[in-house]
Amino acid sequence: MGAQGPVATSTTARVAPWLLVVAVVVVALNQRPAVVGVAPLLGDLRADTGLSSALGGLLTSLPVLCFGAFAPVAPRLARKVGLETAVAASLVLLAVGTALRLLTPVGALYGGTVVAGGAIAVANVLVPAYVKREFAQPGLVMGVYSAALNIGAALAAGLTVPLGRALGLDWRDALAMWGVLAVLALAVWLPVAGTGRAARGAVAAPGASWGLLRHDLGRRVTLFLGMQSTQFYGLSAWLPTLLTDAGLPTAEGGLLLAVATVTGAVGAFLAPTLAGRLQQGSRGQRPLVVLLLACYAAGLAGLLVLPATGTLVWVSLFGVAQGGGFALALTLIVLRSATPLTAARLGGVAQCLGYLVAATGPVVLGALHDLTGGWSWSLGLLLVLLVPMAWAGWGAARDVVLPEPSRA
């Protein structure tokens, strides 16, 4: 693995590549627990605060809203202070936001969630840019990065409740303990990546280029990311509650969410490799899109019809679909772009709009539950949303590329 990009003094010139991979992984592990860790605690959280299902769902939607709202800010921050310093700052903010949730007022719970979500948004955009700059062949590292995102989510889903109980923590302490992981990541990131002062300006593009949405391909890539993220955040927010309502123990619901994210790590690792191999074929990545949509449909249908029977199969299928779908969405941004600059701009557009759409998922599903008293309508909606996702994925998987926009 070698360095690439316009940076005169690359990090890889002074640090072993495997250490850079470790640094990327520990940062990636932090990019989902602050969001996913809320789901297993929603029952206790709502009982203590009196929040409705819709307001409880907002706690998982707010970070996703921040992913979209702050995505265009990340490249500008990296240009000003250096890419590595910006990632380090995101870890500091993540720890601060997580700690704010310890405060008693409900407003602090939401405020801390916003700070944590903004911090994750910066890392969401800049860590892939760092990988692209530092590795001549970033595909494998992106697969590891995508898998680490899912593993971090799995840790939060599976360990938040049992670890909190083992340590005698209430729901606030159990939620805030993930801030320790951000501090540990900062301790690894700074010695390995440095501050990046010599690399200021390496992120040449100021942000997203909205003109890309004039192209059908740009719209489809953006919609595919948005629909995939809606599926993930919508179901992840309520899966433990859904399974508890179906008769499963509360702790088991959290563990099954962890199973979904672990199988998602497998899908996330494999999808970029398969997408690359399919790139030279006349059908592009369309066979992979069909396979992932079939996994989505089977998993959701199983949870709708037989939530307490074969549950492990349903959540595993959904996990493979969501992990592979997210990794495919990131890969399509790269494959459908003629230049790295276009990829950076398309990534800004797709993450901004895609995550803003996805943020409505937990709230809408929670509101439907409040209105109907069950989860059938919520799962039915997710099944219906597979239709626009299929349309977007089918078009985005074509072996064509977007032209370079004339201006940002």
Q: Cα-atom radius of gyration of the chain, to the nearest Å?
A: 20
167, with CB counted inside 10 A (0-12, 13-18, 19+), is exposed
Task: State the Cα–Cα distance between residues 180 and 204, nearest whole angstrom.
Answer: 33
Q: What is the pLDDT, as a whole number, of residue 9?
A: 40
Q: Residue 403 falls within a domain, yes or no?
A: no
Q: Residue 7 falls within a domain, yes or no?
A: no
- Domain of 223 in residue numbering reads as 15-396
Residue-averaged pLDDT of the chain: 83
What CATH number is given to the structural domain containing 309?
Answer: 1.20.1250.20
Cβ atoms 174, 164 nearer than 8 A: yes
Q: What is the pLDDT, as a whole number, of residue 341?
A: 66
Q: What is the pLDDT, as a whole number, of residue 281?
A: 56
Cβ atoms 141, 131 nearer than 8 A: yes
Q: What is the pLDDT, as a whole number, of residue 290?
A: 94
Q: Which amino acid is at 408?
A: A
pLDDT at 158 over 60: yes
104-120 pLDDT, tens digit per residue, is: 888 888 999 999 999 99
CA distances from 17 to 22, 192, 195, 408 (A): 9, 10, 17, 32
Record the pTM: 0.77
Q: Of 62-76, 302-316, 369-383, which gets the smallest average pLDDT?
A: 62-76
Q: What is the pLDDT, as a whole number, of residue 82?
A: 81
pLDDT at 345 over 80: no
Cβ atoms 157, 258 nearer than 8 A: yes
Q: Residue 408 falls within a domain, yes or no?
A: no
Task: State the Cα–Cα distance between residues 73 and 94, nearest whole angstrom.
Answer: 16
Q: Residue 405 falls within a domain, yes or no?
A: no
DSSP state of 393: H
Q: Residue 221 falls within a domain, yes or no?
A: yes
Q: Residue 406 falls within a domain, yes or no?
A: no
Domains in the chain, number: 1
Q: Residue 136 falls within a domain, yes or no?
A: yes
Q: Residue 4 falls within a domain, yes or no?
A: no
